[in-house]
């Protein structure tokens, strides 16, 4: 069981792990042992995720999400299968926790009269400064 929050718990059966050979340097060991982990999680079919969290997770996943809605996390940072497995699960957990946070709605506000006046005064001052830089200043 993967406990995301008190409300969201993902069953291990919903996670699919494949062990593959890691890329990069490593000598003879890297050619013999499949230490890298490819963790697959079907976001659209998961019953534990509320629809709003699933939608945010799909947006956050970016290119890690396949067209079928499967989130693929590849972990090959460590030399052992077990540490890579834990790393992949931890990254999935972080991503789901981030998606579980409901973003605050922005409240549209209008600028105050005083801020509009300050902006206009600043523009006038700037205009005067630039006008004085000209070869023949226009005196108002």
With contact defined as beta carbons under 8 Å apart, do 76 and 39 qualify?
no
36 pLDDT more than 70 = yes
**115 pLDDT band (50/70/90 cuts)?**
very high
Burial of 44: CB neighbours in 10 Å, binned 0-12, 13-18, 19+: middle
Outline where the chain has alpha helix (H): 28-32, 51-61, 81-100, 113-133
What is the pLDDT at residue 119? 97
The Cα–Cα gap between 93 and 67 comes to: 21
The token pair that represents 83 in the structure block? 């540490």
Sheet holding 36-42, edge to edge: 15-20, 36-42, 70-75
73 pLDDT more than 70 = yes
Higher-confidence residue of 100 and 27: namely: 100
Average pLDDT of span 106-129: 95
As a whole-number percent, the residues of the chain with pLDDT over 90 amount to 18
Neighbours of 43 (CB within 10 A): 21
The token pair that represents 5 in the structure block? 């929050």
Average pLDDT of span 82-104: 87
Q: pTM of the prediction?
A: 0.65
Mean pLDDT (the chain) is: 82
- Domains, the chain, ranges and CATH? 2-100 (3.30.160.20)
Q: Dihedral of the CA atoms 70, 49, 58, 55 (nearest 10)?
A: 140
């Amino acid at each position: 069981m993967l406990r995301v929050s008190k409300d969201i718990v993902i069953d291990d059966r919903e996670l699919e792990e494949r062990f593959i050979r890691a890329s990069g340097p490593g000598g003879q060991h890297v050619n013999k042992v499949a230490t890298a982990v490819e963790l697959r999680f079907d976001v659209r079919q998961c019953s534990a995720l509320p629809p709003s969290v699933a939608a945010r997770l799909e947006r956050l996943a970016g290119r890690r999400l396949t067209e079928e809605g499967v989130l693929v996390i590849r972990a090959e940072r460590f030399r052992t299968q077990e540490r890579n497995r834990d790393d992949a699960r931890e990254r999935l957990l972080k991503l789901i926790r981030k998606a579980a946070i409901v973003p605050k709605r922005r409240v549209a506000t209008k600028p105050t009269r005083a801020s509009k006046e300050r902006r206009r005064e600043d523009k006038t001052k700037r205009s005067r400064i630039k006008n004085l830089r000209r070869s023949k200043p226009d005196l108002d």
